Chain A
């Protein structure tokens, strides 16, 4: 029996489609005729690798409408990573295949074709590009690397792509697919740098109120200075905080999920001290100007008409409190709220009040200062669990431990929606 593809699924498939749409025509139009096998492999891997790198760069554009088209920023970043990684593997194969094509002639010629030491000026940028990709990707896979250092090292990848394209230009000359790749790369990197990283298209807001709903957590009320962004509960914004009388912003855009949306266009965002920038934000004060980009994210969107189970870990409560504040629940909803201790649990009193006033909303809490809770036992407290759609927001280890338990309870994967804090 065929299942019709939902709109959300089609949007998610748009990202791999973009990757194929860049790579396949590129390989088709540059496919070498009458070459030896290894030489053909060398050329195909080079062009396919370049296409994948460019697709990867296209998929890191942070623009709300584009991210919606591709099924959300998280989905774009997933395919950004996949495309970039596959490009790297193919580009590693390229010089090896080129050397292998010279092996029948002589091993010395093969080494001359590969050697970075005696490489000509046309070949050298290719080698430097490969080393930069290697260096940049190493940073991607070091999970413990602080965000700022990771971001700085990640920029080597962009430089690697530029040098890689320069190498192709030096070797192949002014061929039209290459010009197209260069134009796409410059446009995407330019958009990312000026519009996103420097905030040229960001909306201006100002902080009017700062509260402390939990230890090491602030909630900031942001009022638009001009047009307000249209934001739904579950979405997040990229925020860059400026200067205040006593506060000095770190000048970087960081993602924060909205915890409240008012009819007058003002929003609230909740920030837990997790890194240097969010730690400094604990000192935020009214009057600070904020630049916002977004909204991004599809969490809590396109839900089925089923009873819901929400699982929040720590600051993962923010999308749920935003939804609860927006309107009473129309579907039976149970929130399982996990936290270290009651002092650190943001919005706990407000949630208890909402649970009393909203007959469709049930609150289950669990405090655990050490390790993960016993999920099978906790899930046992949720009535009609198998009939629910599940939304999870919290740290990655929590989500990874919870999903197998939910699968055991016969909840299908397509009814599980997960938002994790691994946004890089």
Chain B
């Protein structure tokens, strides 16, 4: 077991170092590109339009005035699908800010969310 401990700990720190180097040298070009390209194309959606995307296979959410298509992200969300899916097709700012248990999402989650931005929430309901 001593060998297993030494080997597994060494591999772990090597992998952490690998992720660190990889993250350091592959900067956020992809994210920035997406943000730059997506911004001019932002269009407005009404809550009614958002409401028509209320399925696991087609899930939009309105969060803090922006509209996100989270269909592709749902499989990666850490919590139980039963917690997230009811917010598909809805204004979910409160759920986003509190995670329904009074805690905000992390900065990493904020970063991830930007990838799924498709438009703004319009004035019309």
- Residues of A that sit less than 8 Å from B by CB: 33-36, 39, 43, 81-82, 85, 88-89, 92, 96, 99, 101, 105-115, 118, 120, 122-123, 134, 137-138, 141, 170-175
**Contacts A88-B8, A120-B108 known; A110 to B103 CB distance under 8 Å?**
no
B19 CB contact (under 8 Å) in A81, A99, A170: A99
In chain B, residues 83-114, which have Cβ atoms closer than 8 Å to a Cβ of chain A?
83, 99, 101, 103, 106-108, 111-112
Asked if A39 contacts B106 (CB within 8 A), the reply is no
Asked if A115 contacts B76 (CB within 8 A), the reply is no
Of B56, B83, B103, B108, the most chain A CB neighbours within 10 A belong to: B108
Apart from A35-B76, A107-B25, what 10 extra A-B contacts exist at CB < 8 Å?
Answer: A34-B75, A85-B1, A88-B5, A105-B112, A106-B26, A113-B108, A114-B16, A118-B107, A141-B6, A173-B79
**Contacts A36-B76, A88-B8 known; A122 to B106 CB distance under 8 Å?**
yes
Which A residues touch B107, using CB under 8 A?
Answer: 118, 120
Which B residues touch A36, using CB under 8 A?
Answer: 75-76
Task: Please give the distance in Å from B31's CB to the nearest CB on chain A.
Answer: 6
Task: Please give the distance in Å from A391's CB to the nearest CB on chain B.
Answer: 26
Which A residues touch B106, using CB under 8 A?
Answer: 120, 122-123
Of B11, B74, B75, the most chain A CB neighbours within 10 A belong to: B75
Closest partner residue, chain A, to B28 (CB atom): A108
The distance in angstroms between the C-alpha atoms of A170 and B105, with both chains bound, is 11
Task: Please give the distance in Å from B26's CB to the nearest CB on chain A.
Answer: 4
Instruction: Tell whether B22 is near chain A: CB-to-CB under 8 Å.
Output: yes
Residue total for B at the interface (Cβ-Cβ under 8 A): 40
Task: Please give the distance in Å from A207's CB to the nearest CB on chain B.
Answer: 38
Task: Please give the distance in Å from A400's CB to the nearest CB on chain B.
Answer: 15
A173 CB contact (under 8 Å) in B6, B24, B30, B101: B101
A-B contact pairs, 29 of them (CB 8 A): A34-B74, A35-B75, A35-B76, A36-B75, A85-B1, A88-B8, A89-B8, A92-B8, A92-B9, A101-B76, A105-B112, A106-B26, A106-B28, A106-B30, A108-B23, A108-B26, A108-B27, A110-B23, A111-B20, A111-B22, A111-B24, A112-B111, A114-B16, A134-B9, A141-B1, A141-B2, A170-B103, A172-B79, A173-B83
Of B2, B76, B107, the most chain A CB neighbours within 10 A belong to: B76
Closest partner residue, chain B, to A33 (CB atom): B81
The distance in angstroms between the C-alpha atoms of A122 and B103, with both chains bound, is 10
Closest partner residue, chain A, to B99 (CB atom): A173
Which A residues touch B15, using CB under 8 A?
Answer: 96
A105 CB contact (under 8 Å) in B11, B99, B115: B115
B4 CB contact (under 8 Å) in A35, A85, A99: A85
Task: Please give the distance in Å from B20's CB to the nearest CB on chain A.
Answer: 6
Closest partner residue, chain A, to B15 (CB atom): A96
A175 CB contact (under 8 Å) in B1, B56, B80: B80
**Contacts A36-B76, A92-B9 known; A81 to B24 CB distance under 8 Å?**
no
Which B residues touch A137, using CB under 8 A?
Answer: 5
B75 CB contact (under 8 Å) in A39, A81, A138: A39
In chain B, residues 21-52, which have Cβ atoms closer than 8 Å to a Cβ of chain A?
22-28, 30-31
The distance in angstroms between the C-alpha atoms of A43 and B79, with both chains bound, is 10
Which B residues touch A134, using CB under 8 A?
Answer: 9
Asked if A96 contacts B79 (CB within 8 A), the reply is no
Which A residues touch B80, using CB under 8 A?
Answer: 172, 175
Which B residues touch A112, using CB under 8 A?
Answer: 23, 108, 111
Which A residues touch B23, using CB under 8 A?
Answer: 107-108, 110-112, 115
Task: Please give the distance in Å from A98's CB to the nearest CB on chain B.
Answer: 9
The distance in angstroms between the C-alpha atoms of A170 and B103, with both chains bound, is 9
The distance in angstroms between the C-alpha atoms of A88 and B6, with both chains bound, is 11
Task: Please give the distance in Å from A312's CB to the nearest CB on chain B.
Answer: 28
Instruction: Tell whether B78 is near chain A: CB-to-CB under 8 Å.
Output: yes
Asked if B78 contacts A171 (CB within 8 A), the reply is yes
Report, nearest first, the 4 A-B pairs whose CB atoms are least far apart. Answer: A111-B23, A120-B106, A107-B26, A107-B22
Asked if A82 contacts B101 (CB within 8 A), the reply is no
